Amino acid sequence: MSTPQPQADVHGRIQQLQDHLDRHIIGQQALTRRLLIALLCDGHLLVEGAPGLAKTTAIKTLAAAVEADFHRIQFTPDLLPADITGTEIYRPQDGDFHFQPGPLFHNLVLADEINRAPAKVQSALLEAMAERQVTVGRKSYPLPELFLVMATQNPIEQEGTYPLPEAQLDRFLMHLRIDYPNAEAERLILRQARQGASPAHNGPTIRQGEIFQARRALDQVHLSPELEDYLVQLVLATREPGRLDGELGQWLRFGASPRATIALDRCARAHAWLQGRDYVLPDDIHALAADVLRHRILLSYQAEAEGLDSDQVIETLLDRLPVP
Q: How many CB atoms lie within 10 A of CB 178?
A: 20
Select from 212, 244, 268 the last residue of a domain. Answer: 212
Residues 31 and 175 in one domain: yes
Closest CA to 30 of 14, 13, 43, 47: 47
Give dist(CA 143, CA 229) in Å, integer.
35
What are the b/e assignments for 21-37, b being 16+ CB within 10 Å? bebbbbbbeebbbbbbb
Is residue 165 included in any domain, yes or no?
yes
Ordered per-residue pLDDT tens for the chain, 324 residues: 445 566 668 999 999 999 999 988 999 999 999 999 999 999 999 999 888 888 999 999 999 999 889 999 999 999 999 999 998 888 888 878 888 999 999 999 999 999 888 888 988 898 899 999 998 878 889 999 999 999 998 877 666 678 888 878 899 999 999 999 899 999 988 888 888 755 555 678 899 999 999 999 999 999 999 999 999 999 999 998 878 777 888 898 889 999 999 999 999 999 999 999 999 999 999 999 999 999 999 998 998 888 889 999 999 999 999 998
Is residue 2 included in any domain, yes or no?
no
Summarize pLDDT for 180-233 with one digit per residue, the tens: 989 999 998 888 888 875 555 567 889 999 999 999 999 999 999 999 999 999
Is residue 139 included in any domain, yes or no?
yes
Residues 51 and 160 in one domain: yes
Residues 57 and 160 in one domain: yes
- From residue 232, alpha-carbon distances to 46, 250, 301 in Å are 23, 21, 26
Residues 188 and 271 in one domain: no
Residues 109 and 255 in one domain: no
Residues 180 and 229 in one domain: no
- Report pLDDT for 198: 56
- Report pLDDT for 1: 43
- CB-CB contact of 99 with 139 (8 Å): yes
Is residue 227 included in any domain, yes or no?
yes
What CATH number is associated with residue 314? 1.10.8.80
Residues 41 and 160 in one domain: yes
Closest CA to 284 of 237, 209, 222: 222
Is residue 301 included in any domain, yes or no?
yes
Residues 294 and 184 in one domain: no
Q: What is the pTM of this model?
A: 0.91
Select from 212, 242, 267 the last residue of a domain. Answer: 212
Residues 179 and 236 in one domain: no
Which are the contacts of 69, defined by CB distance < 8 A and separation ≥ 6? 63, 106, 107, 108
Q: Where are the alpha helices (DSSP H) in the chain?
A: 7-24, 29-40, 55-65, 81-85, 119-131, 166-169, 183-195, 208-218, 225-239, 246-251, 258-274, 282-293, 301-305, 310-320
Summarize pLDDT for 291-305 with one digit per residue, the tens: 999 999 999 899 888
N-term to C-term CA, the chain: 44
Q: Using alpha carbons only, give the angle 182, 187, 190 rounded to the nearest 5 degrees.
A: 125
Instruction: Please state the φ and ψ torsions of residue 307, each to the nearest 5 degrees.
Output: 80, 20
Is residue 120 included in any domain, yes or no?
yes
Closest CA to 294 of 178, 174, 180: 174
Length of the chain: 324
Residues 187 and 225 in one domain: no
Residues 164 and 231 in one domain: no
Is residue 76 included in any domain, yes or no?
yes
Is residue 199 included in any domain, yes or no?
no
253: containing domain: 221-320
What CATH number is associated with residue 166? 3.40.50.300
Select from 182, 212, 242 the last residue of a domain. Answer: 212
Number of domains observed in the structure of the chain: 2
